[in-house]
Amino acid sequence: MERTETMQVSKAMTKEETFKEMKETFGMVPSFFKKIPESAVGLEWQLMKIAEMEPGVIPQKYRELIGLGISAATKCQYCALFHTEMAKLQGATEEEIEEAARYAKSNAGWSTYLHGMQTDYDQFKKEIIQMTGYARTMHSKR
């Protein structure tokens, strides 16, 4: 699926326009948005809509699960809650949410290990390309 429509940030919305649109979208204006200076709140809302709500090549549910994994790895409780709830809104199951968190844990753990061992990146890259090339060849024979 390609992006067929892109939100345009043509001009900053006023605070009143921004809050009205938020109420229409969420039924309320989140308190953290109320703290953003009036000169920036419209642009911040536009950026949030583009990043979080605009359709993209990756389906929204999977984007939220990716967001959850990143949030877990960066230890952002605010983001983890947001992306978990948004993933559920998009139909993610508890099993998918758990798997996203577990996958993030695995990636963060391997990153820690590889960095801690000061693994040679060029050798690592060569081996990964060799491994995936072999797997591709084996897969095409099936």
Q: What is the pLDDT of residues 120-138, one digit of tens each?
A: 999 999 999 999 999 999 9
Q: Indicate if 50 and 63 belong to the same structural domain.
A: no
Report DSSP letters for 30-79, one per residue.
Answer: -HHHHTS-HHHHHHHHHHHHHHHHS--SS-HHHHHHHHHHHHHHHT-HHH
Report DSSP letters for 89-127, one per residue.
Answer: HTT--HHHHHHHHHHHHHHHHHHHHHHHTT--HHHHHHH
Q: Indicate if 101 and 122 belong to the same structural domain.
A: yes
Question: In Å, how far are 43, 45, 66, 91 from 59, measured between CA atoms?
Answer: 24, 21, 11, 11
Mean pLDDT over the full length of the chain: 92
- pLDDT at site 28: 98
Is 2 a member of any domain?
Answer: no
Contact 78, 66 (CB under 8 A): no
Is 1 a member of any domain?
Answer: no
Q: Indicate if 42 and 112 belong to the same structural domain.
A: no
Domain that holds residue 14: 7-54
Mean pLDDT of 101-105: 96
Q: Indicate if 84 and 14 belong to the same structural domain.
A: no
Mean pLDDT of 46-73: 94
Q: Tell me, rounded to whole angstroms, the distance of Cα 56 from its chain centroid.
A: 12
Q: In the chain, how many domains are there?
A: 2
- Give the CB-side neighbour count of residue 104, counting CA atoms within 13 A: 18
Distance CA 47, CA 94 (A): 29
- pLDDT at site 142: 80
pLDDT higher than threshold 50 for residue 4:
no
Q: What is the pLDDT of residues 5-54, one digit of tens each?
A: 555 555 678 999 999 999 999 999 999 999 999 999 999 999 999 988 89
Is 12 a member of any domain?
Answer: yes
Q: What is the largest CA-CA distance in the chain?
A: 61
Q: Indicate if 50 and 62 belong to the same structural domain.
A: no
pTM: 0.80
Distance CA 69, CA 62 (A): 11
- pLDDT at site 5: 52
Q: Indicate if 47 and 66 belong to the same structural domain.
A: no
